[in-house]
Structure 1
């Protein structure tokens, strides 16, 4: 299939890599031009969105958030202006559900179809083809898209009409943010009390409150590894999206609000370009601890 891929950040590069391995013909465009790495050999970089979309029946998108979407969809050289009739747009951006529905309407007016297809997972899952897709939009278009997602996905879910995938992504990221922050508090308490880190993780591995996030991130944090697979500044953006979405639904999210403020504080401390788990480094500091237990 001829596919245009818009957005070559950490997640986008992993997905393009797997699309190429699956034999698709990929044209790519990124807001900031850069030389493609060898891992994306075979992708064809384009100078404009119009060039990227030309001749493609599927457009896949993965951007940093709502501001980037507005520029990429509604600019003079935007997707809405150049999408072909009958094409499908599949957008993995974590974003505002209301904006998602606005984009869907604008694409429909061009006789094309928009699917919101955000993902759970980060850099490792993107490159391994183990992302979990949560999708909203027309079911027939989703059924056409699903085979393309297979080499990228551990699971693929259709949640309902346009905006459903975007909403599910924010529901899930509420839990991600809560686990990340509470893990930092738990590790701070365990370290300050003098518990052995390996022994603590051995318990975390087997208990009913464990999760893949707790197991993997916990070990990385104890080793002082905050290399970004999902930037802290992006987690801050997501907590703000969750709060806005909750307000639109008149749902109280007091703990998420507090966690968002902690992420804002961590970003203000210069941790924004480290992994989202770098909030643990701030919590350690508040507890009088070094960044790692080493």
Structure 2
């Protein structure tokens, strides 16, 4: 009886050890980057709305790739994930606002981002910062060098304030040049219902999906796939202060705050484009 007990304990210990090893091995490099302790707590709390694991997996981003992140903002929400993922194997270009911009907001945002990169060299020391402000500043990475280019909630910025079709197409053309043949462009942006007029794009911060696809195609891209990863059916895209009415901005302050928190972050399109190989 005692021998059976010893054998049972030995088998149980072996099974537990194997399970722990499989659990540790099951975490992919992308999952490890997302769960990293370096990430800002406020950013982590938005994972449920932004789905970084599913989104970056859909775009096919892996270690060893050269990736360009467009306009990461002052705090680099996605940079916190991409930088450690690509630090040892791969390259990350952060195509930020130009430092000599006439916009004070652009200058300060880039300066804050560059400071962030110095705060944790073990994570950010390999990030290369370039300038992007189409059409004047469009050299986001060496031509034909990138496996992936990703842009999160930026297309509306190129369209608004009089940018229109020309600036949007110029932005896509710059991304097209940076990609290798066969490379992938990933786009996430606030989605305007297809029934709404294009003029609603000017002030709302929302973009019609068919419009974004058409502009990317004008630049030479081919639509490869769509995903509803970042969809939010609670969002009507019709708010007093446009998309900024919703979290995380909550531009109305305490007015109807609970209502907009209940809606959550915006309904978003998630599009994957390919640069043709020939």
Is this a same-fold pair by TM over 0.5? no
Would you tell me which structure has more helix in proportion to its own residues? 1
- TM-score (normalised: structure 1): 0.29
Would you tell me which structure has more strand in proportion to its own residues? 2
- TM-score (normalised: structure 2): 0.30
Please say which structure displays the higher CA radius of gyration: 2
Structure with more relative contact order (C-alpha pairs < 8 Å, separation 6 or more): 2
